[in-house]
Structure 1
Amino acid sequence: MSRISTVDLIQLTHDIKAWGRALGFQQVGISDINLQQHEDALRQWLNNGYHGEMDYMQKHGMKRARPEELVPGTVRVISVRMDYLPPDASFAHHLKDSHIAYISRYALGRDYHKVLRKRLKQLGEKITLELSDTEFRPFVDSAPVLEHAIAEKAGLGWTGKHSLTLSREAGSWFFLGELFINLPLPVDEPVAEGCGSCTACMTMCPTGAIVAPYQVDARKCISYLTIEYDGIIPEHLRPLMGNRIYGCDDCQLVCPWNRYAALTEETDFHPRQTLHGQSLLTLFQWDESTFLSNTEGSPIRRIGYDKWRRNIAIALGNARADTIILKVLQQCLPDASPLLKPHVNWAIEQQQTKLMDSSEPASRKTARLTRVIEKGLPRDA
């Protein structure tokens, strides 16, 4: 007889949640593996081409909504939350100053994939010590997993109109991870949706990427453009990117629920000073070895040096008029790669135009965003 049938699964579930909190997860929930209700929306999203050039989304198809096809034998998913809002996030200051590089706050510290996956593996091993028949597999953005749908079903929060998971206690400044497991543990109940009629995230998205409630067109999303997309960024989107060189936090910044977010207790997620609040020019002038050194252990490293400079070149074009910026751009042009060159040429044109017109207007949307986040940020953020 399997030992699973003789174990008090209710007590084991309580223990798993306690072990998870001890490992640094702020919340642990459990869901079954029936995600059928999400298949139509996933299929429509793919059919609309909203995944852009993320071919792996299309390749795996409905497996994303069928955990048992990904890991045979899975009967439950343990969903975990780990908060990442760093101290001294300096949102308003960095977005307001067009000469400072804005990096999505989740990426300023250590690569969250490594942090969460290690802890999830430790949680799985802890369960196995208690019950040797346990089989598990951890995931952190590493496979076709509908992590937000799972988190919602596990009671960690609800899916907001920006498609991120929202919690009444923590807003959305957190990472999610999953432990697929073969134990028929008691499941948690979903929580009530809390967005109501609010559309702040949709209104304030710089590029209008949230095309309908719960639908994001990745092809317009700054996070996709600066991280996932390998090509020439369309000219009409470049001015809307501002100084955001890796990711974008705007839809989270304006969300009222993020007023309640707590600062992270994980020092791994605290900002690296080589990245946080640095000038665009400083980062643009890194050579490749400096880039690799300063992004070691960071999620930023995976985009590579060429895309890093591509993103910064666009931000330099969006920066307020500066003769030094123009000079640096012109000096780098002869040796620019095929990917970098068109973006540098565009940035040079933008700077030349601004230098001829000293009455450059501030972005109305950026100014409004600054006012909103200064009013609603958590204390010390």
Structure 2
Amino acid sequence: MNWEQLKLDLIEYSKHIGIDKIGFASAEPFQELKHRLLRQEELGYQSGFEEPDIEKRTNPQLVLSGAQSIIAIALAYPSKLKNAPQSKRGERRGIFCRASWGQDYHAVLRDRLQKLEQFLQERVPNVQVKSMVDTGELSDRAVAERAGIGWSGKNCAIITPEFGSYVYLGEMLTNLPFPPDIPLEEGCGTCNKCVEVCPTGALIQGGQLDSQKCIAFLTQTKGFLAEEYRVKIGNRLYGCDTCQTVCPKNKGIDFHLHPEMEANPELVKPLLKPLLTIGNREFKEKYGYMSGSWRGKKPIQRNAILALAHYKDETAIPDLIAVMKQDPRPVMRGTAAWALGRIGMKEAAEEIEKAKQAEQDEQVLAEMEKGLIMLQDIQN
């Protein structure tokens, strides 16, 4: 078999099925990544969403026995929202990050990878493959970097010369010996903007992230959010784009190449107050196809409460009082009480005092006290 020719054929085919960039890498162990991951684990910087076995994350042979090469793919996604609705007094809106616009990217990339698998299976009947997107054992970023898709930026994203960092990544392990591509040179240089403007200081240094502080991670948690981060969430409902939007390599970048990735403006920038009472069925029907729905409605609703507090939206006070008194979930009741204190209207104090009499959850009571203290400070 002429592996170089098969590689060229595969590259040509990838263009026809909507893959914007493809690269090839060896399946040798990722030794440098292993050292970095062990250090991340030691420092407690992991999010907990990753594959826990560092050996599997760094040794392709443990994922596919006999693996010889890895095919990396990238699809560019939009960075500008067309016909974006405006957030205004009484109609405040939240925002989903760009990686949650359109159809869940996991499904989009899996579709492209399956087509590549079929292409190879038709030409090499005994081929062995294993594809993954985001939730697989391997590090998408490390594979893409080795395969020449882009360099690993200081914002911990792969930055491509063509599409900036607005790309989704996926990869396929195979037992075929494809000639590898050459990695790109690092292109961030002395620029340190992403590290400097990270809202929570989660980018410890260029290329090192404390996931526990990252807003993209925090918006996906389900419990009470630490108070130090509540005011930094802003109106983000899911994810965070700050380290990408400030990147000079992303200036002027906006690709609309895939219909599946086009956003519904009303869903990716939704009104906040209706989210507080949305039911499970309606949430799944509206948001279930988006990647930002994978943790369910609870984190989105909590973040919507924090966003209303961020805006100090006085028109939301009746809605927040109802959540504080009626929502069966302690996180929602407590966060609503805190938000009422943050918004700072005097009538909220009386409602919090009333709700305290019926409340039995210790964490919720603590949040109610925080709300009352904030209201007292405002009145004084």
TM-score range, shorter chain: 0.7 to 0.9
1:19 to 13, 37, 40: 13
Does residue 9 of the first structure (1) align with residue 3 of the second (2)? yes
- What RMSD over aligned residues (CA atoms) do the two structures have, in Å? 2.3
- 2:91 touches 2:271 (CA, 8 Å); kept in 1? no
Pairing 1:218–2:211 present: yes
Partner of 1:322: 313
CA contact (8 A) 1:280 1:316 kept: yes
| Rounded Cα–Cα distance in structure 2 between residues aligned with 1:104 and 1:89 | 14
AA matched with 2:291: P
- Output aligned runs, 1:247-266, within 5 Å: 247-266=239-258
Whether the 8 Å contact between 1:226 and 1:246 is mirrored in structure 2 is yes
Matched-pair contact (CA < 8 Å) for 1:33–1:75: yes
Whole-angstrom CA distance in 2 between matches of 1:287 and 1:40: 45
Q: Which amino acid aligns with 1:46?
A: E
Q: C-alpha distance in 2, partners of 1:251/1:120?
A: 28
Match of 1:63 among 56, 74, 79: 56
Deviation at 1:209, TM superposition (A): 0.8
Tell me the residue number matched to 2:291. 299
Query: Which letter maps to 2:243?
Result: C
Q: Distance in 1 between matches of 2:248 and 2:84?
A: 15
Residue aligning to 1:312: 304
Structure 1 residues 92 and 48, CA gap change in structure 2 (3 angstroms)? farther
**What is the letter of the counterpart of residue 235 of structure 1?**
E
Structure 1 residue 195 and structure 2 residue 188: aligned?
yes
**Aligned runs of 1:131-280 on 2, under 5 Å?**
131-227=124-220, 229-280=221-272
Secondary structure of 2:334's counterpart equals: helix
The one of 40, 47, 53 aligned to 1:45: 40
The corresponding residue for 2:122 is: 129
1:87 to partner: Cα distance? 4.8
Deviation at 1:276, TM superposition (A): 2.9
5+ long unaligned stretches in structure 2: 349-380
Q: TM-score, normalised by structure 1?
A: 0.85
Instruction: Determine if contact 1:171/1:257 at 8 Å carries over to the other structure.
Output: yes
CA deviations 1:169-220 (Å, max 9, x no partner) are 1100010000111100000001111100111111111111101111111111
- Match of 1:25, SS? coil
Q: 1:344 to 1:94 in 2, by over 3 A?
A: same
CA contact (8 A) 1:120 1:179 kept: yes
Query: Higher mean Cα deviation, 215-224 or 330-339?
Result: 330-339
CA distance in 1, matches of 2:270, 2:119: 41
- Asked if 1:332 is matched to 2:323, the reply is yes
Q: Which runs of 5+ in 1 are unaligned?
A: 1-6, 357-381
What CA distance in whole angstroms lies between the structure 2 residues aligned with 1:94 and 1:29? 41
The secondary structure found in structure 1 opposite 2:27 is: coil
Deviation at 1:94, TM superposition (A): 6.7
Return the offset for 1:81: 0.4
The amino acid across from 2:25 in the alignment is: S
**1:26 is aligned with what amino acid?**
D
Alpha-carbon separation, structure 1, partners of 2:152 and 2:57: 17
1:374 is matched with none
Quote how far apart the aligned CAs of 1:230 are. 2.7
User: 1 or 2 for the larger relative contact order (CA 8 Å, sep ≥6)?
Assistant: 1
The one-letter code sitting in structure 1 at the alignment partner of 2:39 is Q
Q: Is the 8 A contact 1:87 1:264 kept in 2?
A: no
Alpha-carbon displacement from aligned partner over 1:1-25 (angstroms, at most 9, x marks no partner) = xxxxxx1111100011111121111
State the SS of the aligned residue for 2:74: strand
* Aligned residues with identical type, % of pairs: 28
8 Å contact from structure 1 (residues 27, 80) kept in 2: yes
| Larger deviation, residues 107-116 vs 83-92 | 83-92
Amino acid at match of 2:295: I
The offset of 1:36, in angstroms, is 1.3
Q: Is the 8 A contact 2:27 2:70 kept in 1?
A: yes
State how far apart, in whole Å, the 2-side matches of 1:333 and 1:128 are: 57
Give 1:40 shift. Answer: 0.7
